[in-house]
Each structure stands twice: as C-alpha cells, then as structure tokens.
Amino acid sequence: MSSGAKPRVYDILARAFSQEGVKTCFALLGDANMNWAAQLAAQGCRMVYVRHEHCALAAAMAYARKNADVGVATVTCGPGVTQLITALPAAVRAHLPLVVFAGEAPLKSGWYNQELDQAPIITATGAAYHRLHLPERMPVAVRDAFLQARRERRPVVIGIPFDLQNRPWEGPATLPRPSRELLPRPSPIPPHPDDVAGA
C-alpha cells in the first residue's frame, strides 16, 4: 500500500493476521489470495511457497505441531480449496489449530469458472468454514477464526470473495483485540492465592 493511498480490504486483512502473530504462512497463490499474501509478506511474514495446496496445509500442520501455535496456510478459490480435503481430516483428527485463508469467487460475477460452494466441502472434513462477506466485520471475523482454532484445536477455513478484498476499506481504523487476549489465562494448580482472593 503506497503512503497516502486509501487502504484496501486486503490491507486490513493482512494487518489482522499480523496482529494475530502470524510470522510464517504456507502458500499457493492465485487471483483470490495474491493481494492479501503480498501485503502479509510486506508486513514481515515469511511466505513459504509450495507446489500443491495439499502441501501448504501439510506444512502448516507440521508448523502447528512443532511450534504449539496456530499454523497458517493460504490457497485460492474453487479447485484450490478442493485440494485441501485430503489433508484436512488428518488435521481435524490430530486436533491441530490451523487457519486457512481461502479466496472465494467474486460475488458480482455472473459466471466464474472457479466458483463452487466451498462450505459443504470443508465442513464434511470436520473443519470449520467461515464465509466473510461483510467487509467491516472482517477483522473481527479473522480474530474469531483464530480464537476458534485455538479453543477447539481444529482447522478453520475462511473464504473471502476477492472482489470484496479489493474494495477500499470503509471500516474502523483500529483492529479488535487479538485472540490470545481473549483466551482464559492458565492458572497454576493449586490455584494462586491472588486468584482465590479474586474469586
């Protein structure tokens, strides 16, 4: 984003991922995720490019297991999303927290060759699917996806139509609190005296 230019929705989405502490993303790019990925990389995220969408998810699974943190991957819409369904059940059964940024076909297109209903495909694997179609709510929805991945320890795929990603940002200037700040604080066992006094 050039200085002085009005940010686009994909700029804010990249900032929302950055605020969640995303430092590494495994990616196979297409028209529905490339602008967001470029902005995420510009904010210091290490992008690891792979040759197949299945590999992006498998690498994010390994990252989540090794680092005990949310693994992040990105794919484009349609066939890019269908390529995830072999790896997703393994991630679900392994209780791995993952967030996948997936594009969706543009909403304003009368016909688009990669359009398909992605939600039933993803939910059939046991993963969660969130359609993000309200730009002003997208930062909260991204935070909630990370929160769900952390709390439920399962993959969450977010689908965002790429015509919405390209719109000028009209929402609030500040981002919501990151998901880590909403998780309950682990307490020692036995309880700390301060926690007992607080209760």
Query: What does the pLDDT read at residue 188?
Result: 66
Q: Where are the alpha helices (DSSP H) in the chain?
A: 9-19, 34-42, 53-67, 79-82, 88-93, 118-123, 138-152, 162-165, 193-198
Residues of the chain short of pLDDT 70, as ranges, are 1-4, 187-188
Query: What does the pLDDT read at residue 61?
Result: 98
Q: Can you list the domains of the chain with their CATH numbers?
A: 19-169 (3.40.50.970)
C-alpha 113/C-alpha 85 separation (Å) is 20
**Radius of gyration for the alpha carbons in the chain, expressed in angstroms and rounded:** 17
Q: Which of 60, 131, 68 lies closest to 98 in space, CA to CA?
A: 60
Say if CB 156 and CB 147 are below 8 A apart.
Answer: no
C-alpha 77/C-alpha 152 separation (Å) is 25
Query: What does the pLDDT read at residue 1?
Result: 52
Query: What does the pLDDT read at residue 4?
Result: 67
C-alpha 103/C-alpha 163 separation (Å) is 10
